[in-house]
Amino acid sequence: MKSVYKLTPSLHECIWGGKRLSVYGKGKTEGPLGESWELSFVPGSEALADGKKVTDLFEKSTWGRACERFEAFPVLTKFIDAADKLSVQVHPSDAYALENEGQYGKTEMWYVIDAEEGAGIYMGLREESTPERFAEAVGDGSVEDLLNFKQVKAGEVYFIPSGTIHAIGKGVLIFEIQQNSTLTYRLYDYMRRDAKGNLRELHVEKAMKVSKLEKYLPSVPDPADPEVIGKCEYFTSRLLKLRSEGRELVADESFISLTCTAGEGVIDGEKFSAGDSFFMPAGGGRVEIFGNCDVIAVAVEESNA
């Protein structure tokens, strides 16, 4: 087995998607391209490595000892191009999802790559709300008035624990690292219709059961380890800012997922540029990476447990 594999993503058309992912070499789709799933073990939407599905090529033994506690691969990473607003949504916790859906919930984080002037995200509530007041706002279409809106710019990071009501606003391009789950409850979707002319499905009753209705408080980065931009049980994300100097990476206790968000460089003798992603299986040896670029490295640390 090689030390590092270049990934071919799974592309997803979305009603709110755009055209900016083509800049990152993500190919073309008939409709608007909303998401490029860089590292995906999701059945039917697997990323490829050496022309093979990652689920076939990377058995659990290659995930690393830190992942032994997981039944399924723990992480899903993706680029998201929001040419229009995404739905107002929420993801349940593991406890609720396992009991009611037979699958895991979702905690995630966003790294902002680019944003149009004035563009932003909705993250939690501006002030604490009662279930009755929030349900009324969902029903009459005024839910955005209760949400905490923040204009964003490139390089900012936002951590979204399960239960946090959120939405990506129009004109934002992000890289998302998330728990490996596709479970989403839509609260509000601006009365949009799908390709067949039908209103998109909402999940208001379930969403109300899992939504946190207190005022949103942003997470605070760890000053002791400034490279870490997000951390939870399922992943630790690090922003590697390489400026000509080399860096040695070792996938020992965990796999390492690498995605270049800006610039260009060389990894294990192979050139890469913004938009390229790689997978280092655990136990695969040491890899040298260098260049003038920003790379997000994702792994599972035993301290996450």
Among all residues, which ones are annotated catalytic?
186
* Strand-strand pairing, 235-250 and 185-188: unpaired
Q: HSE (CB half, 13 Å, CA atoms) of 200?
A: 19
Beta strands in the chain, from DSSP E residues, in sequence order: 5-8, 10-18, 33-39, 48-49, 52-53, 75-82, 88-90, 108-115, 120-125, 147-151, 157-160, 166-168, 172-179, 185-188, 228-232, 235-250, 256-267, 270-273, 277-280, 286-299
Report d(CA 89, CA 16) in Å as an integer: 14
* Strand-strand pairing, 235-250 and 286-299: antiparallel
Report d(CA 40, CA 7) in Å as an integer: 10
Structure token pair of residue 53: 């599905």
The answer for 142, left when phi > 0, alpha when psi is -120 to 50, beta otherwise, is alpha
Structure token pair of residue 57: 């090529």
Other beta carbons within 10 angstroms of residue 36's beta carbon come to 25
Q: Please say whether the beta carbons of 218 and 164 come within 8 A.
A: no
